[in-house]
Chains A and B, each alone.
Chain A
Amino acid sequence: MAVLEKSRKVVAESLIGQRIPKMDAPEKASGKTRYIHDLDLSGQLHARILRSARIHARIKSIDTRAAKALPGVHVVLTAADLPDQRPIGVAKDHFPLKGEVVRSQRDEIAAVAAESVEIAEAALKLIRVEYEDLPVVADARAAIAPGAPLIHPPRQGAPAGAAVAYTGRPDNVAMRFDYSHGDVIQAEADSDVVIEDSFKLHYVTHCCMGVSGVIAEFDASGYLTLYSNTQVPFLHKREFAEYLNMDPARIRIIQPPIGGGFGSKLDVYPFEVICVFLARAAQRPVKLVFTREEEFLASPTRQPVLLTLRSGCKKDGTLTFRTVHTLHDNGAYTSWGATTPFVMMQTFSSLYRVPHCDYHTTAVYTNNPYAGSFRGYGNLQATFAIEQHMDMLADAIGMDPLAFRLKNAQESGEVTGQGMVFKSCGFKDCLTTAATRSDYVVKRAAYRARQKDAGAVKRGIGMASMLHVGGGAKIYPSDGCGTMLKMDDFGALTLITGASEIGQGSETVLAQLVCEELGLPISAVTVVNNDTDITPWDVGVHASRTTFIAGNSAIGAAKKAKAKILAAAARKYECAEETLDLKGGFIVRKESDEALIELAKFIRGLHFSDKAELVMTTFYYEPPSVHQDKGFKGDVSATYAWATQVVEVEVDTATGIVSMTHVTGAHDVGRVLNRLGLEGQIEGGVIMGQGYALTENLMVEDGRIRNPNFRDYKLVTAPEIPAMDVSFIESMDGEGPQGAKGVGEAPAICIAAATANAIENATGVRLFELPFTPEKVYRALHGQTEKLYWAPWKPE
């Protein structure tokens, strides 16, 4: 709150670091927010999609006659009706509607637009499909076995360089990543200790509380408006133009508030393109909303990963090398999520100082669910393996695991083998803060000493740390964001940003940053952030980039507005610009904070003068990062975020039930901008990590999801959450907005790894496969688990 004292001195607090409630929270807490599910356009039809009854099969025939004849049905589409369908996805390896072959349980065969959801569903039941089964590849290892059935077999007659959907592939390899720095062979020879283990990471899915949905509408001129849940509106617009053979200038994307994202809304999905096809055919708005079961079956998962890690160190605790081979199950088609190795290799190469590192990933096609992008983007999987090995190496040389980590931890000024430059690095502070606040060293020794004590319930404590991009990630040609700022005659601001709000609180933090520059209260701002016809370009919500990139962009626009105002004020008051400032809604003298004039009044004066002027500015921020070279090297983010999390568990050795009792986290966030929002991101991420470690498991058998519901797919509920203690390390990043870094993904990353270390501390038994369900833990504790081993594999 700003106060104008009798002496005309303005007193106002900085907004930075305060607990500022989300601007959209009052609407949301009143049930007034209109999510896509709550929007209806006049004349709107409702769509449903017929998905495959088989996992891998040739489609022999589709008969839609009865469906088309059902009263209330407007359009029924199959691939046969759409000879101009174009392949979609990162690898352009599938068509929205499948006409020849279905390759997964999700696969879309037909779509109906009808006057109600009930009629559309009834019509689906009338569609007859004849299939001829093909052999199912239900495991990534089976996909690379000699003679494995091919998911996208080579096709004759396609022009060279055509998309996978036209050419097929000679094998099931969708993507391959090979990275190296140093000489791991020599480094291994020089190591005192070498260990090798395999790790297996399972399927989990986003479980956004709001199911997927889209509304498509063409106007009379053929201009398409899409009401979409996407996290990447401008990339979406470009992709839709390609998939629909349309001019991108004729596509507008409006983003209603989103019921959860977490990475699930990065790709263009078949259902979205199909909905547009239906709207085009019907010449009516068409709305398509999933059921929860469909959300489980047809929205993406986190990458399941099989991983073999070989690590070494010297007796004095110096890390020597790391060799990593991973096998990723893409499912039948390639999503953005297949590029998770970009993140994974950063963790392997650069979380600690590792002089020699080899990293290899093969992402394969199978008939399993479509694995996509999910908060943390491969980093949960990589960290799970690395941080267990850090404990194991420390044990092997008889060193305390905290001391071992501190010895190898990165510091400010480091340039890693992968070319990442750590300008501000609070890693060691994270390690010591989390360890101190959790009493890690003392408890770990005490719990280890009690492993053999009587009593079924054992306690354990474990630690893990993470490195993640915190200043964007230069993957796309630009990693930037645009801002337009308008100040009106009443001193109110409209902040128009390319950055989307997906519940993470970006609109509030951006408003805060702008108000801090212009000396205004948050209540002065309206944020516009959800319409590609209005907002300037942004690459999208991913890579924990919005606070950093959109924040810098917003500050840039605010600084320009401020400069314009102060220059005009300096003319009016005949003083130097540098002696003036904006504070508490006034133009003030910088030295004394003496109010000269109310800001709104001054702006009205500018407007209604001979040289009428409006205060409107634009800014585009491009971070000073670089694209990786062909060897995946380069400083891809403007800064990097760090965290250490310590997990305490109780393990009931009689039942295998693991309870998470405490999580102590220390996060290098650069600087705290909105403490309330930041805590919310961390706490939510921790509990998502808890679910990944202990309860969530999308069960896939022979390509079929067995538990597409919240009964059998167990999310963490309120009584199960641990006590959470979160500390923030303020490393004040030189490039960050007010010194801040991105943190959205960070809190989910370490939890599973730290839990594995805690279970080992409690029981002496190490677990290499997630999730730690009671059955799995019980079997491991009672010697009923075979040691997992995956022999690294390379394509020929």
Chain B
Amino acid sequence: MSLKTEIEFTLNGVKRRATVPVEMSTLDLLRDVVGLTGTKYGCGEGECGACTIEVDGLTVNSCLMFAVDCAGRSVNTIESLAGEPLGERLRAAFVEQGAVQCGFCTPGMMMQAAHVLSACGAQDDKAIARGIEGNLCRCTGYKKIVEAIAVAGKATGA
């Protein structure tokens, strides 16, 4: 069977170890090994953004990142936004602005939104739309998602 390796990394602020097959994706590590299912499989090839996570301050498609490459890094998932000021503002804005319908793209969308706001500060709608262009949504038509991110950005005062 496949070669396995042990890694140590920080997940949502907590140091942990995991033993992973070398060919495993970070998405599968999160969902199947760690059991955090907020990060979604949408396409498995980096085209839809449903599996967006933050690694060392940058957002990545977790389906395209090998689990072994988490070694020594700080990984944050949708679950990390709970209780965190920007995360709570984003969640409130997504709910109140109607940015959620089926909700399947929402975790990835919020991770990307959190990154856009924390890395670039409050943005105009055009810049926000560019910021989430790698995240597909089939339900909302994006308008309310962009508005929600703008509202959260203003509330942040970033």
Contact = CB atoms under 8 A, between A and B. Distances in A.
- Contact-residue size bin, chain B (C-beta under 8 Å from the other chain): 35 or more
Contacts of B107: 29, 31
Contact of A710 (B41, B130, B136): B136
A29 B129 contact: no
Nearest to B77: A31
Given A210-B40, A710-B47, A259 B104 contact: yes
A209 B104 contact: yes
B106 interface: yes
A709 B37 contact: no
A503 interface: yes
Given A718-B133, A718-B146, A37 B40 contact: yes
A156 interface: no
Interface stretch (A86-94, A342-350, A682-690, A759-767): A682-690
Contacts of A718: 128-130, 132-133, 135, 137, 142, 145-146
A505 B36 CA distance: 26
B-side binding surface: helix, strand, loop or mixed?
Answer: loop
B139 interface: yes
Given A292-B42, A683-B143, A29 B98 contact: no
Interface in A701-752: 709-711, 715-719, 721, 724
A683 B133 contact: no
B8 interface: no
B138 A262 contact: yes
Contacts of A684: 101, 138-141
Contacts of A503: 101-103, 139
Contact of B143 (A710, A717, A724): A724
B98 A677 contact: yes
Contact of A719 (B47, B79, B129): B129
A530 interface: no
Contacts of B104: 35, 208-210, 259-260
Contacts of B143: 683, 721, 724
A631 interface: no
B94 A29 contact: yes
B43 interface: yes
A410 B137 CA distance: 35
A680 B130 contact: no
Contacts of A35: 40, 104
A679 interface: yes
Nearest to A501: B102
Interface string B72-96: 0000011101100000001100111
A503 B136 CA distance: 16
A782 interface: no
Contacts of B25: none
A209 B137 contact: yes
A504 interface: yes
B103 A25 contact: yes
Contact of A505 (B81, B101, B135, B145): B101
A292 B129 contact: no
A766 B8 CA distance: 61
Contact of A30 (B78, B133, B135): B78
Contact of A258 (B45, B95, B102): B102
Interface residues of A, number: 55
A626 interface: no
Contact of B38 (A30, A688, A724): A30
Interface in A69-127: none
A29 B47 contact: no
A724 B45 CA distance: 31
A711 B43 CA distance: 10
A209 B50 contact: yes
B138 to A, nearest CB: 5
Contacts of B44: 291-292
Interface in B23-42: 31, 36-42
Given A209-B105, A210-B104, A709-B43, A680 B98 contact: yes
A502 interface: yes
B100 interface: yes
B151 interface: no
Nearest to A206: B138
A658 to B, nearest CB: 18
A477 B110 CA distance: 44
B55 to A, nearest CB: 17
A571 B42 CA distance: 59
A26 B91 contact: yes
A423 to B, nearest CB: 30
Interface in A403-425: none
Given A21-B95, A207-B138, A33 B103 contact: yes
A683 B99 CA distance: 11
Nearest to A679: B98
Interface of B: 31, 36-45, 47-48, 50, 77-79, 81-82, 90-91, 94-107, 110, 126, 128-130, 132-146
Given A25-B95, A209-B102, 5 more contacts: A19-B98, A22-B95, A29-B95, A292-B44, A724-B143
5 contacts: A29-B95, A259-B104, A292-B48, A685-B141, A718-B146
**Closest 6 pairs between A and B when the two form their complex, measured CB to CB:** A31-B38, A28-B103, A503-B102, A259-B104, A31-B78, A687-B141
